């Protein structure tokens, strides 16, 4: 049953001419589909509307060809040709009682315009905000400014025609032309659009007024604004110009959507920031406006959400990642099913996929972006035509997700896990520095499985082929995971690193959970390039060890850059005194230290240490599979999933476990899915 203290979350909120059904608000965020996969994007958002969110927003929506974001697929509303997609999107969101919001956006000097070939525009001639691209923005003339205002107005009118209820003016993060004008870093003008804050805010004020005049009779006008920036020069701060902007424009929008800039701070991973870390910066906003305020904070704690409303900090609980991890979060809270909530773990795998320019994937929710093309649902699986007895060997996240999905489809499921503890590497890694929220991956699945009468969990049950076949299951699933290689092979090492038997203690990440104490000076060689090398460095440095982190690449933990983490991770390691050695290829391990080559240099260098941890490639063990087959078990009834099939991310392991059970229930192959062709369906 729902606690009465949470009733406040189900009150309607009036936003200008429209009203929400509750306080759950999906703030604008990308799906990775943009204009390229419109049906997938619509399916993604419709599922959230079904799950009970009161407002569902689009991603940043380009308002014209002068702000194309190129390989970063976001939505488009350039002209009337884009209307069918948006009309259908608004209609599918409305079908479930939610309001539809559109975030009109112009990326200003962050635009790419490679597709359109138009110049990138901004307040001044200034380097485009992409340091990797040597281009500058063209300073907008007064007629360019007038043209931009007309473009924004036209897009707002189109948004209204499409049926949206809330039309955004986007002045947040560092991806907005309004931010470029507001900031003294990028606005170097001396006319009425530059200089004083009033002048720098002029364009924003004009566009807010014009949007209101154009669509305000039926649509609410929302302003998304970053009240605090984390940059070194001329930062807009919540105790400075950020506050002044809110005071100046207080009653102009119908809704304030407030957050932090840049996006890498606003979307901090759980490794770098706690739930609700934005609160100290955004708390002041409601004291300056009578209009409703929405804000984000990776909120999954229901008491905290209710308290935020009660104490007058927010009127609406904004969410991007928590709504990806659990599209049904509001419905579960409404029904008091708190234990069923699939809480976001803050790993930023979703951000990584989106940054990579592909459809968003989620570690917690393997069904995200599969709603339309594969017909998957985050809470439901079609009943299996013929329920079977399924034995799953391995209780990591692949095994647990497979078990949960198969059990929901009506099968009788047994999970046998060698260790006392279920959860595999996710359970282990959640013990490391900064990763405790990852434990939610295991807790959610175990919590569900333990309530199901058709599931048996067998911890401390290492299975041999004989045990497996003797179990008498109709189907066997191997979810036995992978192990880190000890032989010094990895993506940069096609031949083993020399000297593994030199007497130097050499470990892999698998040992970290069993070794009682490491010697004082530890060298970590990271040829994996995701989080683990730097997490181990942090973990050991916090325990007082002298740590050297060496990698053959030019940058550390390079994949974490996709998750908006890398720069702050490197800063943290430096603060902890970790010695960083980039572009260093480990040649040999010997008693007392290692030999390595810096970059392409021919000469070798040495570094002393007492132990080495190799974070290189992983390997699978195919023996169990071949031994089971050798006992006559039918190959078509034996499956390998997760890291045991191909070592990868936790998200891939969860997806693999889900995909097997889902496709078995549907009688389909994983390759059977509808292809999105950038045309609206039906």
* CB of 58 or CB of 656, closer to ligand ADP: 656
CA distance 350 to 464: 37
Segment (H or E) for 390: strand 389-393
* CB of 350 or CB of 442, closer to ligand ADP: 442
Tokens 């020069």 belong to which residue? Answer: 233
* Alpha helices (H) along 98-250: 142-162, 177-182, 197-200, 202-215, 241-249
* CB of 238 or CB of 353, closer to ligand SF4: 353
Contacts for 206 with CB less than 8 Å, ≥ 6 apart:
149
Q: Does 426 bind ligand SF4 (CB under 6 A)?
A: no
* CB of 457 or CB of 578, closer to ligand ADP: 457
The backbone region for 604, taken as left when phi is positive above 0, alpha when psi lies in -120 to 50, beta otherwise, is: beta
Q: Which does 643 bind (CB under 5 to 8 A by kind): ligand ADP, ligand SF4, none?
A: ligand ADP
Q: Which does 504 bind (CB under 5 to 8 A by kind): ligand ADP, ligand SF4, none?
A: none
* CB of 316 or CB of 653, closer to ligand ADP: 653
> With contact defined as beta carbons under 8 Å apart, do 419 and 460 qualify?
yes
CB of 554 to ligand SF4, least distance (A): 27
* CB of 348 or CB of 620, closer to ligand SF4: 348
CB of 350 to ligand SF4, least distance (A): 3
CA distance 523 to 514: 18
Identify which range of 199-207, 344-352, 394-402, 600-608 contacts ligand SF4 by CB under 6 A: 344-352
Instruction: Tell me the two tokens of residue 233.
Output: 């020069």
CB of 349 to ligand ADP, least distance (A): 13
How many other C-beta atoms are found inside a 10 Å radius of the C-beta of residue 609?
Answer: 22
How many other C-beta atoms are found inside a 10 Å radius of the C-beta of residue 675?
Answer: 7
Q: Does 268 bind ligand SF4 (CB under 6 A)?
A: no
Q: Does 345 bind ligand SF4 (CB under 6 A)?
A: yes
* CB of 262 or CB of 509, closer to ligand ADP: 509
User: Listing from the earlier edge strand, what are the strands of the sheet with 579-581?
Assistant: 506-507, 611-615, 521-526, 546-550, 579-581
Instruction: Tell me the two tokens of residue 114.
Output: 């490679």
* CB of 395 or CB of 509, closer to ligand ADP: 395
* CB of 282 or CB of 363, closer to ligand SF4: 363
CB of 262 to ligand SF4, least distance (A): 17
CB of 266 to ligand SF4, least distance (A): 13
CB of 367 to ligand SF4, least distance (A): 11
User: Is the peptide bond prior to 487 cis by the omega test (within 30 degrees of 0)?
Assistant: no
Identify which range of 46-54, 85-93, 318-326, 533-541 contacts ligand SF4 by CB under 6 A: 318-326
Q: Which does 292 bind (CB under 5 to 8 A by kind): ligand ADP, ligand SF4, none?
A: none
CA distance 91 to 82: 15
CB-based burial label for 338 (10 Å; 0-12, 13-18, 19+): middle
Q: Which does 425 bind (CB under 5 to 8 A by kind): ligand SF4, ligand ADP, none?
A: ligand ADP
CA distances in angstroms from 249 to 197, 219, 561, listed in the order given:
12, 19, 35
Q: Does 350 bind ligand SF4 (CB under 6 A)?
A: yes
Interface residue with ligand SF4, options 325, 341, 398, 535 (CB under 6 A): 325
The three-class DSSP label of residue 440 is helix
The three-class DSSP label of residue 428 is helix
* CB of 62 or CB of 530, closer to ligand ADP: 530
CB of 622 to ligand ADP, least distance (A): 12
Which residues here bind ligand ADP, judged by CB under 6 A?
Answer: 393-399, 416-419, 424-426, 462-463, 479-481, 624, 642-644, 653
Q: Which does 419 bind (CB under 5 to 8 A by kind): ligand SF4, ligand ADP, none?
A: ligand ADP
CA–chain centroid gap for 19, Å, is 29
* CB of 111 or CB of 651, closer to ligand SF4: 651
CB of 407 to ligand SF4, least distance (A): 22
CA distance 367 to 380: 10
Count of residues in contact with ligand SF4, rule CB under 6 A: 13
CB-based burial label for 117 (10 Å; 0-12, 13-18, 19+): exposed
Q: Does 332 bind ligand SF4 (CB under 6 A)?
A: no
Strands 475-478 and 506-507, bridge-based pairing: unpaired
Q: Does 652 bind ligand SF4 (CB under 6 A)?
A: no
Binding site residues, ligand SF4, CB under 6 A: 321, 324-325, 344-350, 362-364
């Amino acid at each position: 049953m729902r606690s009465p203290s949470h009733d406040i979350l189900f009150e309607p909120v009036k936003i200008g001419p429209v009203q929400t059904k509750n306080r759950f608000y999906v703030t604008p965020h990308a799906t990775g589909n943009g204009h390229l996969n419109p049906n997938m994007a619509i399916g993604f958002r419709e599922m959230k509307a079904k799950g009970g969110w009161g407002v569902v927003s689009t991603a940043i929506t380009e308002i014209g060809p002068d702000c194309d974001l190129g390989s970063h697929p976001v939505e488009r509303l350039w002209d009337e040709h884009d209307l069918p997609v948006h009309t259908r999107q608004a209609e599918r969101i409305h079908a479930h009682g939610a309001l539809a919001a559109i975030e009109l956006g112009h990326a200003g000097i962050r635009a790419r315009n490679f597709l359109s070939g138009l110049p990138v525009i901004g307040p001044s001639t200034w380097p485009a905000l992409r340091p990797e691209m040597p281009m500058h923005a063209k300073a907008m003339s007064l007629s360019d400014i007038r043209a931009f205002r007309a473009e924004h107005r036209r897009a707002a009118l189109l948004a209204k025609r499409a049926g949206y209820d809330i039309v955004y003016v986007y002045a947040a993060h560092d991806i907005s032309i309004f931010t470029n004008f507001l900031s003294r870093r990028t606005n170097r003008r001396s006319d009425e659009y530059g200089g004083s804050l009033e002048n720098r805010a002029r364009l924003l004020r004009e566009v807010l007024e014009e949007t209101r005049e154009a669509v305000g009779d039926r649509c609410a006008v929302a302003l998304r604004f970053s009240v605090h920036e984390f940059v070194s020069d001329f930062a807009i701060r919540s105790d400075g110009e950020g506050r002044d902007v809110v005071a100046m424009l207080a009653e102009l929008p119908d809704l304030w959507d407030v957050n932090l800039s840049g996006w890498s701070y606003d979307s901090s991973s759980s490794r770098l920031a706690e739930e609700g870390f934005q609160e100290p910066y955004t708390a002041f906003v409601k004291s300056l406006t009578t209009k409703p305020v929405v804000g984000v904070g990776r909120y999954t704690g229901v008491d905290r959400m209710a308290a935020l409303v009660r104490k007058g900090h927010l009127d609406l609980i904004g969410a991007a990642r928590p709504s990806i991890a659990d599209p049904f979060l509001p419905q579960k809270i409404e029904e008091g099913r708190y234990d069923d909530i699939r809480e976001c773990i803050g790993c930023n795998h979703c951000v990584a996929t989106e940054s990579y320019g592909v459809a968003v994937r989620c570690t917690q929710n393997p069904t995200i972006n599969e709603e339309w093309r594969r017909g998957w649902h985050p809470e439901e699986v079609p009943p299996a035509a013929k329920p079977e007895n399924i034995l799953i060997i391995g209780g990591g996240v692949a095994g647990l997700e497979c078990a949960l999905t198969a059990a929901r489809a009506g099968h009788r499921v047994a999970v046998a896990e060698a260790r006392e503890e279920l959860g595999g590497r996710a359970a282990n890694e959640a013990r490391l520095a900064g990763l405790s929220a990852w434990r939610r991956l295991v807790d959610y699945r175990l919590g569900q499985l333990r309530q199901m009468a058709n599931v048996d969990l067998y911890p401390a049950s290492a299975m041999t082929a004989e045990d497996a076949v003797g179990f008498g299951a109709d189907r066997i699933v191997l979810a036995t995971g992978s192990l880190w290689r000890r032989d010094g092979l990895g993506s940069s090492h096609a031949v083993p690193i020399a000297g593994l038997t030199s007497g130097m203690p050499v470990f892999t990440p698998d040992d970290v959970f069993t070794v009682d104490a490491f010697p004082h000076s530890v060298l970590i060689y990271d040829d994996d390039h995701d989080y683990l090398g730097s997490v181990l460095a942090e973990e050991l440095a916090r325990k007082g060890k002298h740590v050297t982190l060496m990698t053959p690449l030019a940058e550390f933990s390079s994949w974490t850059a996709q998750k908006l983490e890398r720069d702050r991770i490197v800063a943290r390691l430096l603060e902890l005194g970790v010695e960083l050695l980039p572009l260093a290829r480990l040649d040999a391990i010997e008693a007392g230290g290692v030999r390595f080559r810096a970059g392409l240099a021919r000469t070798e260098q040495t570094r002393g240490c007492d132990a080495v941890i190799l974070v290189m490639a992983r390997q699978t063990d195919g023996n169990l599979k071949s031994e089971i087959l050798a006992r006559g078990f039918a190959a078509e009834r034996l499956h390998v999933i997760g890291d045991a099939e191909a070592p990868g991310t936790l998200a891939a392991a969860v997806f693999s476990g889900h995909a097997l059970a889902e496709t078995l229930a549907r009688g389909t192959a994983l390759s059977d899915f509808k292809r999105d062709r950038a045309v609206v369906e039906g």
